[in-house]
Amino acid sequence: MRSKPMFGTLLLLTALSGCPSGEPQTGSSGKLTGEVRATTIGEIPLSDPLSLAWNGTPETSVMLLPQTVAYPNLIKQSVKELRVRALADAQFLAVRLEWNDPSLDEKLEVDKFTDGVAVEVPLGDPDKTNPMMGDPANPVFILHWKAAWQRDVDRGRADVQDYHPGFISDRPPFVSGGHPYPISEAFETDNARRYLPGTAAGNPVSKIFRKWPVEELQAEGFGSLADHTYQDSQGKGVWKDGKWTVVLALPRQSPDRANPMFVPGKAVMGFAVWDGANQNVGGRKHWAPFVKVVLP
Amino acid sequence: MSKVQNIHLGREMEYPYEGSRPERQIAYIFDTNKCIECQTCTVACKTTWTAGKGQEHIFYNNVETKPYGFFPHGWDVKLLEMLGPGEWQDGKYQGKTIFEAAPPGERVLGYLPEEEDYTSPNLGEDVCSGDVQRGAFFQNIHNTWMFYLARICNHCTYPGCLSACPRKAIYKRPEDGIVLVDQSRCRGYRECVKACPYKKIFYNMVTRVSEKCIGCFPLIEQGEQPQCVKTCIGKIRLQGFLSRPGEEKADNPIDYLVRIKKIALPLYPQFGTEPNVYYIPPLHVPRLFLQQMFGPGVEEALKTYRSAPADKQLLAALLMFGNTPKIIHKFKAEKEHAIGYDGMSQEAVKVPFTEPFFARDLFDKKHGVVRLNIT
Ligand code: SF4
Ligand code: SF4
């Protein structure tokens, strides 16, 4: 574990809390509700969402709403609150997102949907940016984590035999090796990949190998989500005792001009949560409008 | 929602997008009376397009036995139940389509099949409508019945799949109306799987995106009919192009059979997508069942079908089925032959109205054997 003592936390928070758009609220639980305050740390424990280092930064409670603006809507709300903490080091701004979810949903099949979470940051003027996926004049940056991708990273890409043990079918064309023709080994040639059409077409969703369980995206309105060529962000999620704890780490500065910069001061961030058990996917999501993030 | 003209329903209907018909619409005619359920079409399609991993349950083409066969399980009865009854009056559908019956927050009325619904694709195969009673015999009317229904994507004029996709990753080609999923843009939301009333769009758990019949567009672009049509053993299929309504040409076999003779009918027109696979209904199945499945034109279609032996033009159009890999754009009836022409107006096929008859001696002198007639 790489947690290191924090420094200057109290002084910094006191200095920043008097921001012009109003005092943050403290709820009955003692949590912040109006803004997220990041605390500086020597090195963020990126690989351990449950690290005690996260206890040293205040928790903000973010109320979630069902998405009902664009088709298709989220009809049934199943997650009410997202608990957010933020840490910053020289390289990353990391948010730890925690929410209650009684079931771990990481399987993708026709009727199985994955849990997920995303943060959204305006790339232009926050006051002009629509928190519902931005618009062409004011695009947004999105960092999306999915439980299914976490499974891919932790335990290898889910294959047919993982979901359907003992499944046997004819030899797919042009594959190498023998049964069960693992997708991470047997489909190396272009000819074999032709029978994985999404992968052959370069669809990021169809990637066979994934280094991180997160994806950097850009949007300029509903239905416009597009992935970044360069992926600089990181993340890690853990499901334990009926709740997800997910760390999303965004580089503070990136050579990629499509990434936001996180300089000391203020930023805003929107949030979205998907509950796989309730068939949340795409626009069928829980969301929260922009929340102020105070950065050291 | 916009108002569009649905020619199958004889009225305008609500649709999420403006109506724009392609220059010409890919269309198919399947003669259910000739299908032998050999599944050659299914295998031809599967080996061409869906032999990969994650595609095991994907059948762009399947052939199911009605009334008890379904792939995926119960696909049509489930949706019919959700949609509720709808009346036809003077050729006009009075009920609601899947777009008009969409629940709040949704664009389309649909359901997402479960994983298990894709198991046993031959469920209900060859199962009759009821038991054959002891002592029953044929009295010109079949007491029990079943028929084979070959199914592919209908490349609908108003696709349910396309209308439900929040990313606009599904598109309809303006040049031929083929409906395709952009494999590079789909994010696997499965809204299309839920919305397609025919359940002819599938989720691939390996690539994590949706896939559907591509109408064998590389063949179409070379003037050839799709794999499932070319390989059909029963010669039940014809693929061609439908003209825009009002621009029908009597020498185009698809226009002629679908719009002029009205011998082939859409499958479940009440769903509202204006599907473009047209079926010649089976002759021996109870009319009510057929009317629910193919709409109010069943009786007339069957009457016309029965008249084919005496109608040379109609017979000529029916002889275009299964006799050439080329797409037939025009046909004509000559004295002894039906002739089909490709897109370059070149003769592509010449079929005799009466098959030549050869009588051979019973004894083959050359080989010194008695000939057995085995056909
Ligand atoms: S190949 Fe033709 S006859 Fe055989 S099952 Fe398919 S449609 Fe029916
Ligand atoms: S049959 Fe289904 S998949 Fe094909 S175009 Fe129509 S709605 Fe789309």
Beta bridge partners of B280: B31
Cβ–Cβ below 8 Å for A73 and B104? yes
**Which residue owns the Cα nearest ligand 2 atom 2?**
B196
Q: Does B132 touch chain A (CB under 8 A)?
A: no
Q: What is the DSSP letter of A241?
A: T
Scanning B156-175 for CB atoms below 8 A from A yields: 164, 166-168
pTM of the model: 0.92
Convert the pLDDT of each residue in A85-99 to its tens digit: 999 999 999 999 999
Cβ–Cβ below 8 Å for A223 and B205? no
Strands B265-266 and B277-280: antiparallel
More confident residue, A33 or B3: B3
Q: Is the pLDDT of residue A4 over 60?
A: no
Cβ–Cβ below 8 Å for B185 and A167? no
Residue B359: what pLDDT?
84
Distance from CA of A217 to the nearest CA of B (A): 12
- For chain A, give every residue range classified as CATH 2.60.40.1190: 5-153+212-294
- For A5-153+212-294, CATH number? 2.60.40.1190
Q: Does B119 touch chain A (CB under 8 A)?
A: no
**Which residue owns the Cα nearest ligand 2 atom 5?**
B155
Cβ–Cβ below 8 Å for A200 and B106? no
Architecture, CATH, for domain B2-291: 2-Layer Sandwich (3.30)
Strands (E), chain B: 2-6, 11-15, 25-31, 62-66, 88-89, 92-93, 147-151, 170-172, 179-181, 201-204, 209-212, 237-242, 265-266, 277-280, 330-333, 337-341, 347-352, 363-364, 369-370
Q: Is the pLDDT of residue A19 over 60?
A: no
Best mean pLDDT range from A5-19, A25-39, B334-348: B334-348
Domain regions of chain B by residue span: 2-291, 315-375
Q: Is the CB of B45 under 6 A from ligand 1?
A: no
Atom of ligand 1 nearest to the CA of B63: 5
B76's CB contacts (< 8 A; 6+ apart) are B70, B268
Q: Is the pLDDT of residue A16 over 60?
A: no
Cβ–Cβ below 8 Å for A195 and B52? yes
**Would you say A185 and A179 are in contact if contact means Cβ atoms under 8 Å apart?**
no
Residue B140: what pLDDT?
74
**Spatial separation of the C-alpha atoms in residues A228 and A251, rounded to whole Å:** 14
- Among B30, B156, B157, say which to mutate for ligand 2: greatest number of ligand atoms within 8 Å of CB: B156
Contacts of B118 in chain A (CB under 8 A): 110
pLDDT band at residue A66 under the 50/70/90 scheme: very high
- Among B109, B149, B171, B201, say which to mutate for ligand 2: greatest number of ligand atoms within 8 Å of CB: B201
Question: End-to-end CA distance of chain A, in Å?
Answer: 23
Q: Is the CB of B233 under 6 A from ligand 1?
A: yes
Give the mean model confidence (pLDDT) for residues A167-186: 93
Convert the pLDDT of each residue in A39-59 to its tens digit: 999 999 999 999 999 999 999
Atom of ligand 1 nearest to the CA of B36: 3
Q: Does A195 touch chain B (CB under 8 A)?
A: yes
Q: Which of B229, B216, B230 is nearest to B176 (CA)?
A: B216
Q: Is the CB of B165 under 6 A from ligand 2?
A: no
Helix (H, G, I), strand (E, B) or coil at A66: strand
Distance from the alpha carbon of residue B158 to the mean position of ligand 2, in angstroms: 9
CA distances from B215 to A73, B153, B194, B327 (A): 32, 8, 21, 13
Q: Is the CB of B238 under 6 A from ligand 1?
A: no
Q: How many other C-beta atoms lie within 10 A of the C-beta of residue A86? A: 26
Q: Is the pLDDT of residue A146 over 50?
A: yes
Q: Does B106 touch chain A (CB under 8 A)?
A: yes
Cβ–Cβ below 8 Å for A183 and B183? no
A70, A197, A223 ranked by CB distance to B207: nearest: A197
Q: Which two tokens stand for residue A275?
A: 């509950």
- Among B108, B198, B213, B278, say which to mutate for ligand 2: greatest number of ligand atoms within 8 Å of CB: B198
Q: How many other C-beta atoms lie within 10 A of the C-beta of residue A165? A: 8
Count Cβ–Cβ pairs < 8 Å, chain A vs chain B: 129
Give the mean model confidence (pLDDT) for residues A7-11: 30
B105, B183, B191 ranked by CB distance to A75: nearest: B105
**Spatial separation of the C-alpha atoms in residues B239 and B229, rounded to whole Å:** 7
**Spatial separation of the C-alpha atoms in residues B314 and B298, rounded to whole Å:** 17
**Spatial separation of the C-alpha atoms in residues B103 and B213, rounded to whole Å:** 28
Q: Does A10 touch chain B (CB under 8 A)?
A: no
Q: Which two tokens stand for residue B93?
A: 């559908």
Alpha helices in chain A (DSSP H): 9-16, 147-155, 160-163, 190-193, 197-200
**Spatial separation of the C-alpha atoms in residues B43 and A165, rounded to whole Å:** 25
Q: Which two tokens stand for residue A274?
A: 């998907």
Residue A72: what pLDDT?
96
Residue in A108, A111, A218 to test binding to B, most B beta-carbons within 10 Å: A111
In chain A, which residue's Cα lies nearest the Cα of B199? A110
Cβ–Cβ below 8 Å for B105 and A200? no
The mean pLDDT values, 10 residues at a time, for chain B of 375 residues are 96 95 97 98 97 96 98 98 97 98 97 96 94 82 90 98 97 98 98 98 98 98 98 98 98 98 98 98 95 98 97 98 98 98 98 90 92 70
B55, B115, B183 ranked by CB distance to A201: nearest: B183
Atom of ligand 2 nearest to the CA of B162: 8
Give the mean model confidence (pLDDT) for residues A27-47: 83
In chain A, which residue's Cα lies nearest the Cα of B105? A73
Distance from the alpha carbon of residue B85 to the mean position of ligand 1, in angstroms: 31
